[in-house]
Amino acid sequence: MSYGAAVAKQLNTTAEGIVLGSVTDDLAALGKYGVKKIHQVSSDSLNHFDAQAYTNVIAQVAEATGAKLIVFSNNLDGKAIAPRLSARLKAALVSGAVALPDKSGGFVVRKNVFSGKAFANISLNTDIKIIALNPNAYKVEAGEGTAEIVSFNANVPAAKIKVMSVNKASGEVPLTEAEIVVSGGRGLKGPENWGIVEDLAHTLHAALACSRPVADAHWRPHNEHVGQTGIAIAPNLYVAIGISGAIQHLAGVNRSKTIVVINKDPEAPFFKAADYGIVGDAFEVVPKLTEAIKKLKK
C-alpha cells in the first residue's frame, strides 16, 4: 500500500485498495498508508484463495474503477494472480520489482534478475500496467488519514477449487514475512545442537531457517530451507550460523538488508557477502551473543 500510494503520487492520482472475502478488520485504518478508498468484495466464497476467482473479481473492480496501474506483492498469491490478470487485461507486467518507477523517459521499473545478482530495467508501454513488488523491497510509510470503505457487488464465479482442510502454523514467524531470520548450517554438527539457534531466534523474535544440507539430512523441516532451491527471503536482518555460503544459498538470501555471518572458517565464502562477520566457534559465540542481547533488552 505504501508503494502504491507513492506511485499514485508520481502519477498525480490516488491509490485505492481491494479487499476480498468476509473481512472484519478495521479497513478504514489502512488510510494511514496512503490508500484513499477500499473496495470490499464481501463473499464467503472468496474466503479461501482461488487464483482464477480472485483474478476474475479483481479484473471487475479494475475495469469498473478505470484503474491504470495494479500493484501486487510478489509472493505466492501475487505470482498466481498477476500473470492471469495481465493476460485478461492485456496489461504489461513486471514481477519482482524493487524500486519506484522511473518516469523520466516513459514508465520504467527496475527488477531483480539472475537470482538477485543483477538488475533489469523494464519499460511498460501498455495502457494498463501491473507491478508485482518484491516483499520488503519498499519501506512502510505510515501517516494520518482514514480510507473510505465502498462495497463492490462483483459477479463471483463458482469456485473450481474445493478446500478440503486448512492446517495453520501457529506460534512461529512465517519466513517470507519475517523481518529477522536466524539460520543454521552443517557447522552445527547435528539436530541436537539446534537449541542455540532457537534461543537466539526467540530472543530476537526471529524466524528460524536452515541451509539445504541441513534440510536434506532431516535435521530441520524442508519448509525452513532458504536458498535458490528453497525459499527466497529478504529480511531486514539475516544471521547465518555455521553456513559456508555456497552460491545457491546466497542466491536466496542476498536481498537481506543486513547479513551477519558466524563461522569458524575465516575463508568461508559467506564472509564476502556479509555486512558483519564473526570468526569463531558457533558453540561459544552464539550463546554469548544471545545473553548480550537479553541484557540489552532488560
What digits encode the pLDDT tens for the residues 247-298? Answer: 899 989 988 999 999 999 999 999 999 999 999 999 999 999 999 999 998 7
Neighbour count for residue 109 (Cβ, 10 Å): 25
Same domain, 267 and 188: yes
Same domain, 218 and 126: no
Dist CA 221 CA 243 (whole Å): 17
* 193: CATH: 3.40.50.1220
Same domain, 8 and 130: yes
Same domain, 232 and 282: yes
Residue 289 lies in a domain: yes
C-alpha cell at 256: 537481506
Containing 65, the helix (H) or strand (E) segment is: helix 51-65
pTM over 0.85: no
Q: The domain containing residue 193 runs over which residues?
A: 175-297
Single-letter amino acid code for the residue at 65: T
* 140: CATH: 3.40.50.620
136 vs 241, more confident? 241
Average pLDDT over every residue of 71-90:
96
Same domain, 9 and 130: yes
* Cα–Cα–Cα angle for 176, 95, 126, rounded to 5 degrees: 155
What digits encode the pLDDT tens for the residues 101-150? Answer: 999 989 999 998 887 778 999 999 999 999 999 988 898 889 899 999 99
Same domain, 21 and 146: yes
Residue 269 lies in a domain: yes
C-alpha cell at 106: 516513459
User: What sign for the dihedral angle of Cα 214, 220, 222, 224?
Assistant: negative
Average pLDDT over every residue of 192-217:
95
Q: pLDDT grade, residue 227 (50/70/90)?
A: very high
End-to-end CA separation in angstroms for the chain: 35
Residue 261 lies in a domain: yes
